[in-house]
Each structure stands twice: as structure tokens, then as C-alpha cells.
Amino acid sequence: MPVYNGAKYLNEAIDSILNQTYSDFEFLIIDDGSTDQSIDLIKTYDDPRIRLFMNKKNIGQSATLNKGLDLAKGEYIARMDQDDISIPERIKKQLKFMENNSDVDVCGSWLQLFGKYNGINQLPIDSEKIKVNLLTNQNLAHPTVMIRKSTLVKYDFNYNPNYSIAQDYDLWIRMSEYCTFFNIPEPLVKYRMHENQNSIIAADRSIIESNSSLNCLMKRMGIQLNDHELILHKKIFRGVDIESLIMGEVFRYLMSLRSSNFRKKIFEPIVFNEFLKKKWRRFMLNKKNKLLYWASVLLFFRPANFLQFIKNNFLHPKKHDNA
């Protein structure tokens, strides 16, 4: 857990780890040059599992996280933020899953949002869907993950020090080429929503870093986005201002992604094509043009699936989801 001027919520975060139902762990807390009462608060705890390290000066979150990766002695590394709360069975449940699924390299979970906003953030569960959702940046919640340390060592993975906000997104994109992901479909972390979050304070920096990471992923697909295409992509895949988009332009872009993935095989084709269809469906239903939707969506299907498509959507229609 990296700490920087986190005194306001620090006790709740620390208590939530020390009170885990699974207790055999080391708790690395690395202070990154705090100027508030953070260090004093940490030192009030008399628990041998806590290993406190203090950076001589502020070196930033990415460098601090890398320091933690180097210092960690355990087989698994669980992330925690200074303002969140882990539910009591978080580590126990993630550890059990990792022990029973040796092929999984990173295990996250859903999030329970609280504070300024409330609700449950239901992230994709299985690895292929998580990887596809790298296109939306809705994939793995950083403060929920447990990572197999042997994977980090094997591929020499760490956080890019050039990223100060979106270092996790950059890491997942690089890991996706070699690793398997999973999200436990229940909220194991309570994620505090407040105005002092790094992603809110440094919103402009967060956008720049996220765009840079996305561009790296697109280059792997053989696509070089210009500024207009980057805006188009974010509107389509993050559902922002989609009513302003032009139908033909959206369709051409989705089809170009499909063609690129067919050539490069970055994502599992069936999962990826279904992902694109959902984005197209959401766009077309927002446009309230069902006739063109039914006509154009056929291009997403192989002929063998056409009869099943007619049966599902015309003979026994079902409600569309909002994915």
C-alpha cells in the first residue's frame, strides 16, 4: 500500500487489512514523503506483519509501487489503496482462487462504490472478456488485484515510471499479451469516491496517459489512431456523446477493428465480435433506427448463425442489455 498524505482515511484502510480472516501475510506500507500525519498514524500500530518503509523524498506512485514489488517476499502480491476498505474475506477468497487456478496470473474483483457515488461496479469476469474490455478501460480495478509474483519475475513486469495515474492500465495492456486474468464476481473492496482522488485531481494527466496506453494496444492490432479516430473510439466504447456520432463512420470503424483482429488475433475472435456487436447495438438503438440496425447487424454474423439470430430476435425476441 503506497501512502502519500493519506491520514484522513488511513486508519480505515489499514484496519481492513489487519482484520482479514486470512492472517498469514506481510503488510508493506511505503510512505512517499508525506507531509501530514500519515507516518505518525502508521507507527501507532503494533503489528509484526506491518513493514513500514519511508522514501527519503517523494518519488511518485509508480516508483513507489515498483519498490513494493521488489520488497515483497510473498508468492502473491495484493494491492491496496490508502483510502479504500477491503472486506474481511478479501485475501482469503482471492488466495483460494489463485491456489485453485494456477493458470490465472491476476485476480481482481468487483467494486463496492461508496462516498460521493454508491453502487457496485460489475467488471467483466473471464480473461478474454477482460482483455477485450481493455478497449474501454473497464477491465481490472487496481486496488482489488492479487498478482502472482512469479509472473512478474518471469516477464520482468513492473509499473512504468512515466505513468503517474494510469500506470495500472498500461500494465494490464502489457500483461495481456502473456497473462490470464480473472475478476471474482463480487465486491471484495469498498472503493471510496471523493474529490481528492488522484484520477480526479490530475484528470488531464490521466486522460493523456490513458490515451497513450490505448494507442499502444491499437498498434498491436495494426491500427494507428489519429486524433479524430481516438475521439471516435472513446465515444463508441465509453458511451460518451454517442448520439452525435455518424452512423456510417461508426460502422466502418467497428468493421476495421474486426478486420484488424482477424489478421492479428489479439483478441479471441468470437468474444471480440460479440463485443463489437453490443457496441453497435447500443449505438443503433440510441439512434432509434431499428430497421437499419437489423439490416446492418447481419454483417457481423457468419451465415451459420443467421437462422439462430432470426429465431432469437424475431420469433422469440428478448430485451437488449445495456452492455
Is residue 320 in some structural domain? no
How many domains does the structure of the chain reveal?
A: 2
Q: What pLDDT sits at residue 307?
A: 52
Same domain, 90 and 164: yes
320 pLDDT band, cuts 50/70/90, is very low
pLDDT at 2: 97
- Could you tell me if 229 and 191 lie in one domain? no
Least confident of 80-94, 95-109, 192-206, 304-318: 304-318
Residue 25 shares a structural domain with residue 172: yes
**Is residue 200 located within the same domain as residue 231?**
no
What pLDDT is attached to residue 318?
Answer: 47
Write down which residue in 144, 175, 205 finishes a domain: 205
Q: What is the pLDDT of residues 82-140, one digit of tens each?
A: 999 999 999 999 999 999 999 999 999 999 999 888 999 999 999 999 999 999 988 99
Measured CA distances, 182 to 84, 128, 151, 214, 230 (Å): 21, 9, 15, 21, 28
Claim to verify: residue 234 and residue 164 sit in the same structural domain: no
**Residue 174 sits in the same domain as residue 290:** no
Q: Is residue 252 a part of any domain in this protein?
A: yes
Same structural domain, 59 and 195 = yes
CATH code of the domain containing 103: 3.90.550.10
Q: Say if residue 234 is in the same domain as residue 176.
A: no
Q: For residues 65 and 201, state if they share a domain.
A: yes
Q: Which domain holds residue 290?
A: 221-315
Last residue of some domain: 149, 178, 205?
Answer: 205
Looking at 139, 173, 205, which one is the last position of a domain? 205
Indicate whether 181 and 254 sit together in one domain: no
| Predicted confidence (pLDDT) per residue in 245-266, tens digit | 888 888 889 989 999 999 999 9
